[in-house]
Amino acid sequence: MFLHNLRIAWKSLRRNALLTALIISGIALGIGTSTTFAAVRHAFARHPIPEKSDVLHYVRLDSWDPLKPYPGDDPTRPPTQLTYRDAVGVMQSRIPARQSAMFKTNQYVYPDPKVGRPFRETIRMCFADFFPMFDIPFRYGSGWDRKADLGPEPVVVLSTTMNDKLFGGVNSVGKTVRIAGRDFRVVGVLADWNPNVKFYDLTQNAIGTPEEIFLPFHFVQPMQLRTAGNSDGWGTSGGLSGFEGLLQSETCWIQMWVELPNRPAVDQYRDFLAAYVLDQKKHGRFPRPLNNRLSTVKEWMDDQNVVPKQANTMLIVSLLFLAVCAVNLVGLLLGKFLARAPEISVRRALGASRADIFLQHIVECEVIGVIGGVLGLLLSLAGLAGLNAWLKATATRSDFFQLDGPMVLLAVGLSLAAGLAAGLYPAWRTCRIAPAIHLKVQ
């Protein structure tokens, strides 16, 4: 019967092509708009590393000024980053399965003169655990080992793009890259890795692309590296000036991630952080009340408002627009269905129950919904392509907005819901047609 109803629906849609096109266009416009904005929101809100949702934690300690809270709309919030001293301090813990303090810096890279001229590049300084902790895939070689962190050993990991740029894409493991006047040995080249949100450093441009070069964190001192990201500070640096003063100051500029495999490890690490801060208090630091935070990736994204308020607003507006489209179609469908009263009456006379007639028309509405949904998806693809083109110019990436599986499923669901919403009342009215009136006059 379902296939029969599909056939009837198809014939009905072909009967009045113009009206059908109008109805389907209405649905398509609504689906296209709502799916586009749902995909926009989804691009920001999608979990960038769901397989480690519960084990990765971002670390914050409240080392801020006792006289005024850390800037922001929530006075109870601790600074978003750690001081250098604290980053090095908490890295001493043996509780996390993996951990890495990190920051980004801008340095000159000196390629082979035959390849190109020196250029300035953003480099991420991190620990060996950075790569396995975030499940970063490698094309050639691997990350460095923990021993290289301590030296630090002059090793470097390149992105695929940087490897293409410096070495023409060949396996460069073992080759040398000169950065800021020092030679670094390539130990690994990343495979394509471009999480939708740069979750490991949300302090600037959350949708930026990952860095192209990764160096051991501890080169910060010998190379006197400063952050290319945000830094917030207060107070003095204990009489020290220059780079040493920065390292000893209360300036917060280091991000800190830990991998805690289970609940006991989380509790244990919380205790460790509390003990660390209480110990620092004895040395006159951490004047504010104990306020350490361990946030999962999702919590950290929420805290940093990765999903723009406008994305939420536009999604709501677009869903309302879809609802308006569906409501407008109620009238068109009602007219279309009631014009078919004689045929409905014949079907009723031949044994169709009200339920049969209702179902027949709901199937027709859903066919309209699905066709409208497919066209809406195409509209949405075009819209997202436009947004990606705009984003490429502003954020140097062109793959941020995508129609992935969940978004396609959402579009299908919205299409079916819109078809149902638009068709429910007309189908109900149609199945209530009194057959006797129309049989004589057909």
Partner 1 sequence: MLSMRNIQKVYRTDLIETHALHDFSIDVKTGEFVAIMGRSGSGKTTFLNVAGLLDTFDSGTYHLDGEDVSRLSDAQMSRIRNRKIGFVFQSFNLIPDLDVFDNIDVPLRYRRLPAKERKERVEQAAGTVGLSARLHHLPSQLSGGQQQRVAVARVLAGDPRLILADEPTGNLDTMMSREVMDLLERINGGGTTIVMVTHAPECAARASRRIHLLDGGLVDLDAPAPGRLPERDVAALSATLA
Q: Is 353 a residue that touches partner 1 (CB under 8 A)?
A: yes
Stretch that binds partner 1, among 189-197, 339-347, 362-370, 397-405 (CB under 8 A): 339-347
Taking the complex as a whole, the smallest distance from the CB of residue 375 to partner 1 amounts, in Å, to: 24
Residues 418-437 that bind partner 1 (CB under 8 A): 434-436
Taking the complex as a whole, the smallest distance from the CB of residue 4 to partner 1 amounts, in Å, to: 6
CA dihedral in degrees (88, 94, 96, 102; nearest 10)?
20
Stretch that binds partner 1, among 11-19, 282-290, 318-326, 401-409 (CB under 8 A): 11-19
Return the number of the residue (1 or 393) whose C-beta is nearest partner 1.
Answer: 1
Choose which of 42, 46, 347, 361 interacts with partner 1 (CB under 8 A): 347
Taking the complex as a whole, the smallest distance from the CB of residue 358 to partner 1 amounts, in Å, to: 11
Choose which of 349, 382, 385, 409 interacts with partner 1 (CB under 8 A): 349
Q: Is 2 a residue that touches partner 1 (CB under 8 A)?
A: no
Exposure string of 150-169, with b = 16+ CB inside 10 Å and e = fewer, is eebbbbbbbbbebbebbbee
Q: Is 17 a residue that touches partner 1 (CB under 8 A)?
A: no
Return the number of the residue (54 or 356) whose C-beta is nearest partner 1.
Answer: 356
Six token digits for residue 363: 């199937």
Q: How many residues bind partner 1 (CB under 8 A)?
A: 27
Stretch that binds partner 1, among 5-13, 61-69, 105-113, 217-225 (CB under 8 A): 5-13
Residues 354-413 that bind partner 1 (CB under 8 A): 354-356
Q: Is 440 a residue that touches partner 1 (CB under 8 A)?
A: yes
Q: Is 336 a residue that touches partner 1 (CB under 8 A)?
A: no
Contact pattern from residue 292 through residue 331 relative to partner 1, giving x for each residue in contact according to CB under 8 A and a dash for the rest: ----------------------------------------
Return the number of the residue (2 or 393) whose C-beta is nearest partner 1.
Answer: 2
| Overall size of the chain counted in residues | 442
Six token digits for residue 190: 């990343």
Q: Is 16 a residue that touches partner 1 (CB under 8 A)?
A: no
Stretch that binds partner 1, among 74-82, 107-115, 345-353, 365-373 (CB under 8 A): 345-353
Taking the complex as a whole, the smallest distance from the CB of residue 8 to partner 1 amounts, in Å, to: 8
Return the number of the residue (8 or 265) whose C-beta is nearest partner 1.
Answer: 8
Choose which of 87, 157, 307, 352 interacts with partner 1 (CB under 8 A): 352
Return the number of the residue (8 or 417) whose C-beta is nearest partner 1.
Answer: 8
Choose which of 12, 34, 35, 231 interacts with partner 1 (CB under 8 A): 12
Return the number of the residue (67 or 350) whose C-beta is nearest partner 1.
Answer: 350
Q: Is 6 a residue that touches partner 1 (CB under 8 A)?
A: no
Q: What is the 3-state secondary structure (H, E, C) of the chain?
A: CHHHHHHHHHHHHHHCHHHHHHHHHHHHHHHHHHHHHHHHHHHHHCCCCHHHCCCEEEEECCCCCCCCCCCCCCCCCCCCCEEHHHHHHHCCCCCCCEEEEEEEEEEEEECCCCCCCCEEEEEEEECCCHHHHCCCCEEEECCCCHHHHHCCCCEEEECHHHHHHHHCCCCCCCCEEEECCEEEEEEEEECCCCCCCCCCCCCCCCCCCCCCEEEEHHHHCCCCCCCCCCCECCCCCCCCCHHHHHHHCCCEEEEEEEECCCHHHHHHHHHHHHHHHHHHHHCCCCCCCCCCEEECHHHHHHHCCCCCHHHHHHHHHHHHHHHHHHHHHHHHHHHHHHCCHHHHHHHHHCCCCHHHHHHHHHHHHHHHHHHHHHHHHHHHHHHHHHHHHHHHHHHCCCCCCCCCHHHHHHHHHHHHHHHHHHHHHHHHHHHCCCHHHHHCCC
Taking the complex as a whole, the smallest distance from the CB of residue 345 to partner 1 amounts, in Å, to: 8
Taking the complex as a whole, the smallest distance from the CB of residue 28 to partner 1 amounts, in Å, to: 25
Return the number of the residue (298 or 347) whose C-beta is nearest partner 1.
Answer: 347
Instruction: Round to whole Å and give the CA distance between 262 and 351.
Output: 64
Taking the complex as a whole, the smallest distance from the CB of residue 369 to partner 1 amounts, in Å, to: 21
- By the 8 A CB rule, do 214 and 200 touch? no
Instruction: Round to whole Å and give the CA distance between 102 and 123.
Output: 10
Choose which of 93, 291, 342, 417 interacts with partner 1 (CB under 8 A): 342
Q: Is 223 a residue that touches partner 1 (CB under 8 A)?
A: no
Return the number of the residue (77 or 340) whose C-beta is nearest partner 1.
Answer: 340
Q: Angle formed by the axes of helices 17-45 and 2-15, to 10°? A: 110
Q: Which residues pair with 166 in a beta bridge?
A: none
Site residues (CB under 8 A) for partner 1? 1, 4, 8, 11-12, 15, 342-343, 345-356, 434-436, 439-442
